[in-house]
Amino acid sequence: MTNAEEWALLRRHRRKPLVEPAAHERFADVECDGDALRRLLPHREPLLFVDRVTAVSEDRELIVGTRYLAPDDPIFAGHFPDFPLYPGTFQVEAIGQLGLCLWYFRRFPERVDVAIDARPVSVRATRIGGALFNAPAEPARSATIVAQRLEDDGFRASIIGQFLVDESVCCTAIGEVVFLEAD
């Protein structure tokens, strides 16, 4: 995908959700939080930015998760104390972490849970193709995170994702990783 194609996609989804409500009927419910997330992601508190995975599309192209923006999170004390906002870089990171969860469910398409012997995939972020910020993400709110596969050749993968609060798109971003381990 070229940079021009990425920016066109970002602009198209700046305010428009990646997943329309009518599409939710084509999603499988997933219950993935706590220990299951730690089996999928190499991240730990305070840098684990996905609380739960709630759904994955039947074709395994999209995934939905959540993040509660706790008002007592120390980040709000320093990120604009008079008008606390959840940092855009954390929103982009949450989208990326959810994208790693999508990789697992694509690899095991029959699963809607996380195997007890699952382990985090070894990846490195290589590029943020772009990020657009449209609305504030304020404390004491629940955010919905969505990630959609763009490309995946087994060595490199890219996604587009969104961070939404109250159905408003706060952030839309495209990111890329490389896999350090071959299948």
CA distance linking residue 117 with residue 3, whole number of Å: 38
CATH class of 3-179: alpha beta
Averaged pLDDT for residues 83-110: 96
- Mean pLDDT (the chain) is 94
Domains of the chain: which residue ranges? 3-179
pLDDT of 20 > 90? The answer is: no
Q: Model confidence at 57, in pLDDT bands (50, 70, 90)?
A: very high
Report which of 53, 63, 69, 52 is spatially closest to residue 23, judged by C-alpha positions.
63
Furthest C-alpha separation in the chain:
49
pLDDT of 165 > 70? The answer is: yes
- Predicted pLDDT of residue 183: 55
pLDDT of 25 > 80? The answer is: no
pLDDT of 11 > 60? The answer is: yes
Report which of 162, 158, 160 is spatially closest to residue 123, judged by C-alpha positions.
158
Residue entry with tokens 């999603």: 27
Q: Model confidence at 13, in pLDDT bands (50, 70, 90)?
A: very high
